[in-house]
Structure 1
Amino acid sequence: MHTDFSLDEWQRYQRQIQLADIGVQGQKALKQARVAIVGVGGLGCPVSMYLAAAGVGEIVLIDHDIVSETNLQRQLLYRDKDVGCSKVNVASAVLRDLNPHITIRAMNKAFSSQLPLADLDVDLILDCTDNYSTRSDINTWARNHKRDWLFASVHQFSGQLCLFRYQDACYHCLFPLAPSEAMDCNGAGVIGSVPGAVGLLQAQQAIQYLIGSAVACDNTLVSVNLQTLTTQKMRLRRDPHCGLHDAKIEPAKPIAPCDSEEVADSSLSPPIFMHKLLNEENIVLVDARSRSEHQAFHIGGRVIEEDEVHVKQLHRTPDTQFFVYCQSGQRSERMVSALKARGFSQVYQLSGGLAAILPILAEDSLRELRAKFS
Structure 2
Amino acid sequence: MPDLSPAELSRYARHLAIPEFGLEGQRKMRGARVLCIGAGGLGSPIALYLAAAGIGGLGLVDPDVVEITNLQRQVLFGQKDLGRKKLDAARDRLADVNPHVDVQVHPELFTAANAMRIAADYDVIIDGTDNFPTRYLSNDVAVWLRKPNVYGSILRFDGQVAVFAPHLGGPCYRCMCPQPPPPGLVPSCAEGGVLGVLPGIIGSLQALEAIKLITGVGQPLLGRLLHVDTLSMRFRTLTLRRDPDCPVCGERPSITQPIDYQGFCGISSAPTSVPSVPSMTVHELKQLRDAGDDHFLLDVREPHEQSISRIAGAVLIPLGQLGERSAELPRDKRILVHCKSGGRSARAVSQLREQGFENVWNISGGIIAWAREIDPSMAEY
Q: What's the TM-score bracket when you normalise by the shorter of the two chains?
A: 0.7 to 0.9
- Cα drift, residue 294 of structure 1: 2.4
1:73–1:192 CA contact under 8 A, matched in 2 = yes
Q: 1:94 to 1:349 in 2, by over 3 A?
A: farther
Q: In 2, Cα distance between the equivalents of 1:351 and 1:249?
A: 39
Q: 1:352 to 1:362 in 2, by over 3 A?
A: closer
Per the alignment, residue 212 of structure 2 pairs with 208
Per the alignment, residue 250 of structure 1 pairs with 257
Per the alignment, residue 285 of structure 1 pairs with 297
Partner amino acid, structure 1, of 2:285: L
Equivalent in 315, 335, 347 of residue 330 of structure 2: 315
- Cα drift, residue 49 of structure 1: 0.2
1:277–1:283 CA contact under 8 A, matched in 2 = no
Equivalent in 276, 279, 283 of residue 265 of structure 1: 276
Per the alignment, residue 148 of structure 1 pairs with 148
**163-172 vs 243-252, which deviates more?**
243-252
Per the alignment, residue 372 of structure 1 pairs with none
Which aligned pairs between 1:73-222 and structure 2 lie closer than 5 A? 73-115=72-114, 117-120=116-119, 121-167=121-167, 168-180=170-182, 181-222=185-226
1:114–1:141 CA contact under 8 A, matched in 2 = no
Q: 1:33 to 1:263 in 2, by over 3 A?
A: same
Verify: 1:339 aligned to 2:338, yes or no: no
1:280-312 CA-partner distances (Å, limit 9, x unpaired): 456532212344542443123111133244333
Verify: 1:276 aligned to 2:280, yes or no: no
Q: 1:339 to 1:126 in 2, by over 3 A?
A: same
Equivalent in 306, 327, 352 of residue 294 of structure 1: 306
1:144–1:248 CA contact under 8 A, matched in 2 = no
Q: In 2, Cα distance between the equivalents of 1:74 and 1:40?
A: 11
Partner amino acid, structure 2, of 1:285: L
2:213–2:220 CA contact under 8 A, matched in 1 = no
Partner amino acid, structure 1, of 2:61: I
1:291–1:303 CA contact under 8 A, matched in 2 = yes
- Cα drift, residue 278 of structure 1: 1.4
1:136–1:252 CA contact under 8 A, matched in 2 = no
- Cα drift, residue 182 of structure 1: 1.2
Tell me the percent identity. 32
Q: In 2, Cα distance between the equivalents of 1:164 and 1:292?
A: 35
Q: In 2, Cα distance between the equivalents of 1:55 and 1:252?
A: 35
- Cα drift, residue 93 of structure 1: 1.1
1:47-67 CA-partner distances (Å, limit 9, x unpaired): 100000000000000001111
- TM-score normalised over the length of structure 1: 0.86
1:248-278 CA-partner distances (Å, limit 9, x unpaired): 61323212269x998332496xxx6322321
Q: In 1, Cα distance between the equivalents of 2:366 and 2:112?
A: 28
- Provide the secondary structure at the position in 2 that maps to 1:323: strand
Q: Unaligned 5+ residue runs, structure 1?
A: 368-374
Per the alignment, residue 370 of structure 1 pairs with none
Partner amino acid, structure 2, of 1:132: F
Q: 1:74 to 1:361 in 2, by over 3 A?
A: farther
1:38–1:127 CA contact under 8 A, matched in 2 = yes
**35-44 vs 132-141, which deviates more?**
132-141
Partner amino acid, structure 2, of 1:286: L
Q: 1:345 to 1:210 in 2, by over 3 A?
A: farther
Q: 1:174 to 1:333 in 2, by over 3 A?
A: farther
- For these two proteins, the number of residue pairs brought into alignment is 359
Partner amino acid, structure 2, of 1:264: P
- Cα drift, residue 7 of structure 1: 1.4
Q: In 2, Cα distance between the equivalents of 1:189 and 1:59?
A: 28
2:282–2:366 CA contact under 8 A, matched in 1 = no
- Provide the secondary structure at the position in 2 that maps to 1:264: coil
Per the alignment, residue 49 of structure 1 pairs with 48
Q: In 2, Cα distance between the equivalents of 1:199 and 1:124?
A: 15
- Provide the alpha-carbon RMSD of the alignment: 2.9
- Cα drift, residue 323 of structure 1: 1.9
- Cα drift, residue 111 of structure 1: 0.5
- Cα drift, residue 27 of structure 1: 0.2
Partner amino acid, structure 2, of 1:320: R
Q: 1:157 to 1:81 in 2, by over 3 A?
A: same
- TM-score normalised over the length of structure 2: 0.85
- Cα drift, residue 142 of structure 1: 1.4
Q: 1:291 to 1:243 in 2, by over 3 A?
A: closer
